[in-house]
Amino acid sequence: MRLLMTALLLLALPGAALAQSRPAEQMMMQTVSQEHDRHIVLLERLVNRNSGTLNLEGVRAVGDMVREELEPLGFEVRWVDMSETGRAGHLIASHEGRGRNVLLIGHLDTVFEADNPFQRFERDGARATGPGIGDDKGGVVVIIAALRAMQAAGTLEDANVTVVLTGDEERIGAPASIARRDLVAAGQAAAFALEFENLAVEDAADFGTVARRSSTNWTLTTSGRTGHSSGVFNDALGYGAIYELARILDGFRRDLPEPNLTYNVGVVAGGTPAAIDAEGFSVTASGKTNIVASTAIARGDLRTLTREQDERVRTRMQAIVADHLPRTGAELVFAEDGYPPMAPSEGNRALLARLNAVNRDLGLPEMAEYDPARRGAADSGFVAQDVDTLGGLGVAGGNAHADGEWIDLDSLVRQSQRAAVLISRLSLGSD
């Protein structure tokens, strides 16, 4: 009976898979398919436990659920407390083998805090919704499903795999040097890094992520001499803080544009006085039309594709800021806790080529490079300078970071199959 079931499962695989996949890889594909219902149940459990970044207890609880999955597979699992950064911590799991080390990156937290009304997993056929279901609990389940398939096929035994699941990807703790210390170290020790954020899909085609842009916040504060508006523009009062702010922002708009660069302005206030809260999310201002403004504040973000571009654009922004209108001043400050870019590289592209070899052998379509300007920042940016990195290996879905976030449950299967075979080949050198 068991032989008959195996034969039936093999017949269900694509023709190319039967022709080219090795027996261990066929077993991985079977295991993922057989355990699909199990993976959905696990995903539901993870989603229904709130783990908004600031829900420290919830993040830790989700980490405990993942620990229960990884320890039976032979992983040594530890929790790295991050209370000094104001965050829960990170889960790090290690499976030492003779192979090359493959780093798997994901995160436990979501953008949905405990007071958000969007809290539960709901399923409608092959579509499921829930907070963080794709970003990134679906990705976490892909990692677990792939590793379980590797164990069933015997490839995990000798594989060298490290899993790092951060607890503050959506709202990184400060300082970043501590918050990402362990992830950076894991990247420096790895031969390859795979990141399991959402899969990029467009027109029903899957894409590979070989690059992501950075994400850094900035705050611009301008000052001016205040007084009666009848004196604005004269030698005594000058132009005031709001005109100085407008000059700088328009300078950014006119002088900075180049490929793969954006610099959004998210909030602005000006008056006598104006202020911004400690979190940098809320600004307040008051004043009158007949008073020259003393203070103006703008806050925004900067996204670049490479570290060189980031440094160059920051220098240009500071030069624009420094060219003050008469009797005004300005200061531009970049946050220290941003996300560095995952720059495109030949090594990253080589990893995508190896994934496409897996796709061919499994009878799946090959994946083209996705436009990095259409992807957000991720933890992979912290390791990409040190190790060849491929991103976007999680589930397919949409509406991330919003009520109604959803995934295609069927994508759990193909993504877990891809990941199991790719991790095995990378670690064990069985290309």
With CA atoms as reference, report the closest residue to 107 among 137, 145, 69, 71.
137
Yes or no: say if 92 and 186 are a contact pair by the CB < 8 Å rule.
yes
Assigned CATH topology for domain 216-334: Alpha-Beta Plaits (3.30.70)
Q: Which residue shows structure tokens 């300005």?
A: 330
- Cα separation, 405 vs 396, whole angstroms: 11
pLDDT reported for residue 47: 98
Yes or no: say if 146 and 25 are a contact pair by the CB < 8 Å rule.
no
The pair of three-digit structure tokens given for residue 77, joined into one six-digit string: 């699992």
pLDDT in tens, 320-341: 999 999 999 999 999 988 999 9
Q: Compare 96 and 336 and report the one with higher pLDDT.
A: 96
- Cα separation, 35 vs 148, whole angstroms: 9
Q: Is the pLDDT of residue 13 over 80?
A: no
pLDDT reported for residue 282: 86
pLDDT in tens, 128-159: 999 999 999 999 999 999 999 999 999 999 99
Average per-residue pLDDT for the chain: 94
Q: Which residue shows structure tokens 């068991």?
A: 2
Query: What is the β-pairing status of strands 200-202 and 295-303?
Result: unpaired
pLDDT reported for residue 15: 37
DSSP 331-392: EEEE-SS-BPPB---HHHHHHHHHHHHHHHHTT----EEPPGGGS---GGGGTTTTS-EEB-
pLDDT reported for residue 130: 98
Q: Which residue shows structure tokens 């999955």?
A: 69
Report the greatest alpha carbon distance in the chain.
Answer: 94
- Of the listed ranges 9-18, 52-61, 206-215, 358-367, the least confidently predicted one is 9-18
Domain spans of the chain? 2-212+340-428, 216-334
Yes or no: say if 28 and 361 are a contact pair by the CB < 8 Å rule.
no
Q: Compare 203 and 9 and report the one with higher pLDDT.
A: 203
pLDDT reported for residue 11: 41
Residue 28's pLDDT band (cuts 50, 70, 90): very high
DSSP 227-271: -BGGGTTSTTTTTHHHHHHHHHHHHHHHH---TT-EEEEEEEEEE
Q: Is the pLDDT of residue 298 over 80?
A: yes
User: What's phi and psi for 42, nearest 5 deg?
Assistant: -60, -45
pTM of the model: 0.91
Assigned CATH topology for domain 2-212+340-428: Aminopeptidase (3.40.630)
Which residues are within 8 A (CB) of 175 and not within 5 positions of it... i.e. 6 or more apart? 85, 336, 337
Query: What is the β-pairing status of strands 127-129 and 122-124?
Result: antiparallel
Q: Is the dihedral of CA 50, 215, 210, 162 positive or negative?
A: negative
pLDDT reported for residue 62: 98
Yes or no: say if 46 and 65 are a contact pair by the CB < 8 Å rule.
yes
The pair of three-digit structure tokens given for residue 350, joined into one six-digit string: 């080589």
Q: In what order do the strands lie in the sheet with 262-271?
A: 262-271, 295-303, 216-224, 328-334
pLDDT reported for residue 23: 95
With CA atoms as reference, report the closest residue to 144 among 129, 156, 154.
156
Residue 7's pLDDT band (cuts 50, 70, 90): very low
pLDDT reported for residue 21: 54
One-letter amino acid for residue 40 of the chain: I
pLDDT reported for residue 279: 76
Domain 2-212+340-428 matches domain 216-334 at the CATH topology level: no
The whole-number average pLDDT for the span 381-407 is: 97
- Cα separation, 194 vs 135, whole angstroms: 15
CA dihedral 205, 165, 50, 335 (to 10 degrees): -90
pLDDT in tens, 165-205: 999 999 999 999 999 999 999 999 999 999 999 999 999 99
Q: Is the pLDDT of residue 18 over 50?
A: no
Q: Is the pLDDT of residue 12 over 70?
A: no
Yes or no: say if 58 and 50 are a contact pair by the CB < 8 Å rule.
yes
The pair of three-digit structure tokens given for residue 50, joined into one six-digit string: 């709130």
pLDDT reported for residue 160: 98
pLDDT reported for residue 431: 63
pLDDT reported for residue 22: 85
Q: Is the pLDDT of residue 5 over 50?
A: no
- Of the listed ranges 1-15, 37-51, 98-112, 215-229, the least confidently predicted one is 1-15
